[in-house]
Amino acid sequence: MTAQPDDFVPSGPSIPEKNLRAIRAALGVAQDREAFDAGLKAVLDEVRVSLDLGALNAFVHRWWISACDSVRDLEGRRRMHAKAEQVLAGGPIPSGRPWREVLGDRGVDL
């Protein structure tokens, strides 16, 4: 059996409700809020054309996971964005722990 997107159940601090307003309010890093706003505009444009809410549902779910991560580890998200900016600016690509190990520490079964 494989994990499905809806299988994600965060633990720890109070998680945001799974709606656009609550998700955006929980995003504590400016880069996340900017990406959320741009992505929301794009997905709403797509929904207007396709009349299919599936894209919006997927957007809400993906950003809800990021919002939960922001609530749980705001400094971690800040570090992630700082590292991404360094890499995009041509800086060294940091080596770190494998994703499976990090997720395992968080109690996520793969």
Contact 16, 64 (CB under 8 A): yes
The residues of the chain scoring below 70 in pLDDT are: 1-13, 108-110
CA gyration radius, the chain: 15
| DSSP classification of residue 10 | -
Predicted pLDDT of residue 2 = 46
Place of tokens 């395992």: 104
* CA pair distance 12, 15, nearest whole angstrom: 8
The reported pTM is: 0.72
Domain ranges of the chain: 14-105
Contact 23, 64 (CB under 8 A): yes
